[in-house]
C-alpha cells in the first residue's frame, strides 16, 4: 500500500487545514500531516476516475477569466435587479454541449451559474444538453454561442475530452 495514494489531495488537505486554523504552529503542522496521510488512505477506495488537467496554464487563465466575469456578472445582475423589472424577459434555453466527462460538465454548469444572467437548471440524461434559465434573454442564439465559445471550448481543452 502506498503512503500517499493521492499526493495532490494530501498537499491540499495539509494547506487547507493550516489555512482554516490560520496558524503554522508545530501542533497544527502535526495534525495537518496526520489528516493529509490518513484521509486519502481512507477514501482512496471510493474514488471515481476523473480526467486529469492536461493544460494547467490554460486552467489558470480560465479561472482568472471566470473571476473577472463573476465581477461583471455581479454588477450586471445588481443593475438588472434595481432597474425596471417589467422590462426583463426571462427564459429557458437549451445549450448543446459535447463534453464527455462528468467533471467537465460540472465545471461548465457551475461557471454558467456564476456568470452573467444565467443559472444552470438541469443536464439531459444523454449529457448532450445543458438547460439554463436566463434572467434577461436578449438573443438566444448569441447566448448559446457565447457559452460555447467562452466557456465550453477552454474546458474541453483543459480536460482534453
Partner 1 sequence: MPLYLEIIVCVSLLIGGAFLLVGSYGLVRLPDIYMRLHSPTKASTLGITGVLLASMVFQSHLKGFLSIQELLITLFLLITAPVAANMIAKTALHQRTKPLDKTENQALMETVRDREAPKPPQD
In the complex, the residues that contact partner 1 under the rule CB under 8 A are: 16, 19-20, 22, 70-71, 73-75, 77-78, 80-82, 85, 88-94, 109-114, 116-117, 119-126, 128-129, 131, 133, 135, 137, 140
* Identity of the residue, 109 or 147, whose beta carbon is nearer to partner 1 in the bound complex: 109
Radius of gyration of the chain (CA): 20
* Identity of the residue, 44 or 113, whose beta carbon is nearer to partner 1 in the bound complex: 113
Closest by alpha carbon to 77, among 108, 118, 110, 112? 118
First to last CA, the chain: 31
> What single-letter DSSP state applies at residue 98?
-
Question: 11, 37 in Cβ contact below 8 A?
Answer: no
* Identity of the residue, 11 or 81, whose beta carbon is nearer to partner 1 in the bound complex: 81
* CB 124 to partner 1: min, Å: 5
* Identity of the residue, 2 or 103, whose beta carbon is nearer to partner 1 in the bound complex: 103
* CB 21 to partner 1: min, Å: 8
| Rounded CA separation 89/85 (Å) | 9
* Identity of the residue, 39 or 41, whose beta carbon is nearer to partner 1 in the bound complex: 39
Q: At what angle do helices 7-21 and 26-43 cross, to 10 degrees?
A: 140
* CB 137 to partner 1: min, Å: 6
Other C-beta atoms closer than 10 Å to the C-beta of 85 total 8
* CB 90 to partner 1: min, Å: 5
* CB 70 to partner 1: min, Å: 6
Amino acid at each position: 500500500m502506498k503512503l500517499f495514494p493521492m499526493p495532490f489531495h494530501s498537499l491540499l488537505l495539509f494547506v487547507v487545514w493550516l489555512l482554516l486554523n490560520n496558524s503554522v504552529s508545530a501542533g497544527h503542522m502535526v495534525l495537518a500531516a496526520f489528516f493529509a496521510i490518513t484521509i486519502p488512505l481512507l477514501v482512496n477506495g471510493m474514488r471515481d476516475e476523473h480526467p486529469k488537467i492536461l493544460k494547467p496554464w490554460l486552467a489558470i487563465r480560465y479561472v482568472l477569466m471566470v473571476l473577472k466575469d463573476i465581477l461583471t456578472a455581479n454588477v450586471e445582475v445588481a443593475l438588472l435587479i434595481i432597474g425596471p423589472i417589467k422590462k426583463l424577459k426571462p427564459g429557458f434555453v437549451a445549450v448543446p454541449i459535447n463534453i464527455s466527462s462528468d467533471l467537465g460538465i460540472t465545471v461548465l454548469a457551475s461557471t454558467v451559474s456564476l456568470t452573467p444572467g444565467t443559472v444552470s437548471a438541469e443536464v439531459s440524461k444523454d449529457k448532450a444538453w445543458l438547460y439554463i434559465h436566463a434572467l434577461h434573454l436578449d438573443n438566444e442564439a448569441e447566448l448559446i454561442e457565447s457559452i460555447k465559445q467562452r466557456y465550453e471550448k477552454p474546458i474541453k481543452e483543459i480536460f482534453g475530452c
